[in-house]
Amino acid sequence: MQAQAQTQTNSNLKVRVTPIFHKSSAKAVHASAVNGTAPHTANVGTAQGRLLHNFKGLNGVDTFNANGFILEPPDQGLCVGYLGKTKVVNEIINDVTAFYTPNGTLVSSKINLNTFFGEPAALNISDPRCYYDTTTQAWFFSVVVYTNTLIPNHTDILVVNKQLQAAVYHFDTTLPGNTAGLCPCFGDQPKLGIDKNNVYISVDQFGGPGQSLETGADLFAVSKSQLVKEATTVNFAEFNNLSLGGIGVTALQPAINNSNSNVEYLLNSFPYADEAQLIPNTIEKLLGLWALSDTGDVTTGGVPKLSATLITSEIYGAPTPALSTGGRAPAPFSNDSRMQQVQYINGHLLGALDSAISIDNDPVTRDGAAWFEIKPQVDRNGKISGGKFEAQGYVGVKGKYLVYPAIAQTYEGTTGIGFSITSPTLNPSTGYVLSTSQHGVHFGGAHITAFGSGPDIGFTCALPAPQTCRWGDYSWTALDPNGKDLWMADELTVPQVATQPNTKPPAQINWGTQVWEVEGRH
């Protein structure tokens, strides 16, 4: 592991922000693991939250109209905050973004991401994420930017402060001080975290021939106060080639840190048994728990202390191919078992991932969410010493495949997981489960927020594995600025079909997104 303190220059690009404003039969289940090839689940009682808002988000036609080409999957970004005194919802996906009122009325044009981030049209952009920071009233957006050959590439952080001034900062992920000797590299899927001191970006670093070999995770800690001020240069610390347990880390997730702590936490699972990501872990029970202490040092040019440990969790494993409508047999909508969105709140770290599960009275192995609530422990020097599982379990639906979970909790303790859901009799749809218990996390019944309009006809369904019926790559759940309610967004199929006319046969997509807000405990 290598750590470096560095500075990054503002691109001097001022992004135009102000002018752009011109019921279900499914049942959730939840329990602990048992012996066998997949975690097992059993029914528990319900805990429901009222839907406050629910509207159709961006779709593949929007992407085509904004960019002139089709793509999948959407890669779901979502954040909710204020532009001036106006509360808005931002949705950002591949490769378009828009702002809405909370009831779903557009308050901006639908903008392609190259324009939004000020990147040349010839470059590719993907893996968008966003966050609204209530303490600074600033918006943060991130993407990976790359050429057709992947080299060179960089991560963009776009910040919009409360004065609606905006600037973009570029962070090199091609030659990032990598010590494995395999670069030039591709910094895949930047994962966004934040705390009171810094903005965090973690990428999966791929090097070697064709950038096909993963060398571990790279982590960037960037001064939040300097980003918000849109300083000419900002300080950041970089950690390269991160591994744990003898294997390079895949999908190291920095937390959305809703606390006043000077320690940032991160979490990873172990979806693969090898660094080439060719051998999925069918059964695993280890997580990587990380702490970055003295995070305030970044702003003054210092380097925080990064430490990690292995903790034993409930069993999780590679998802089974998720069967869907339209004769897709199999249609692997399911992800691998990498860690998805992570949050630190109320002294606990929450995360969820895709896993194969067994459900009572269901003879078929299904996909569901394995979730974790961990109380991390650090010593007096800020080094991670362990973690206590306050709760953990599974969410699944009998007869269905639940995929791409995203978990978050409110300050009052309401916990929600949003997801996509499908089966041979259920078109790809969206839904959530909620826990409003004051005595720990106890998820109730699954609620469908929007039913898919038909089978997935996306062009990747015609490609050979592992690209068959590409879905995801992730969902998102965001805390409302009031700290009490949760926003969620996920992928489903919609009636709108986008067609790429210059392919033989013409390539099509019919994915869309759904955005909704769930009331928490007040």
Longest dimension (CA), the chain: 63
**Parent domain of 33:** 2-518
pLDDT tens track for 134-181: 999 999 999 999 999 999 999 999 999 999 999 999 999 998 766 666
| pLDDT at position 14 | 34
Q: Residue 58's domain is classified under what CATH number?
A: 2.130.10
The answer, yes or no, to whether residue 422 has pLDDT greater than 70, is yes
Pairing of strands 348-359, 40-41: parallel
Residue 360: is the preceding peptide bond cis (ω within 30°)?
Answer: no
Report CA-CA distances (Å) from 440 to 63, 204, 415: 41, 33, 10
pLDDT tens track for 31-51: 222 223 343 332 333 345 799
The answer, yes or no, to whether residue 331 has pLDDT greater than 50, is yes
What's the distance, Cα to Cα, between the start and end of the chain in Å? 44
Neighbours of 222 (CB within 10 A): 27
**Cα radius of gyration rounded to whole Å, the chain:** 21
The answer, yes or no, to whether residue 413 has pLDDT greater than 90, is yes
Mark residue 216 as left, alpha or beta (left: phi above 0; alpha: psi -120 to 50; beta: remaining): left
The answer, yes or no, to whether residue 59 has pLDDT greater than 80, is yes
**Residue partners of 137: CB distance under 8 A and separation at least 6:** 81, 82, 161, 162
pLDDT tens track for 466-503: 557 889 999 999 999 999 999 999 999 999 999 998 88
> Is the model's pTM score more than 0.85?
yes
CB-based contact 413:430 (threshold 8 Å): no
pLDDT tens track for 293-305: 999 999 999 999 9
**Residue partners of 265: CB distance under 8 A and separation at least 6:** 254, 255, 257, 289, 290, 291, 292, 342, 344, 349, 376
| pLDDT at position 49 | 76
Environment class of 425 (CB within 10 Å of its CB; exposed 0-12, middle 13-18, buried 19+): exposed
| Look-up of token digits 């992004």 | 15
Environment class of 109 (CB within 10 Å of its CB; exposed 0-12, middle 13-18, buried 19+): middle
E-only strand ranges, 294-346: 305-316, 339-345
Q: How many Å apart are CA 238 and CA 375, to the nearest integer?
A: 26
Q: How many residues belong to the chain? A: 522
Strand order of the sheet with strand 253-254?
253-254, 264-268, 284-293, 305-316
Number of domain units in the chain: 1
Q: Can you read off the two tokens belonging to residue 257? A: 């840190």
Please give the full DSSP string across 433-490, using - where no structure is assigned. EEE--SSS------EEEE--SS----GGGGSPTTSTT---S--EEEE-TTSS-EEEEE
Helices (H), ranges, 159-236: 224-229
CB-based contact 393:415 (threshold 8 Å): no
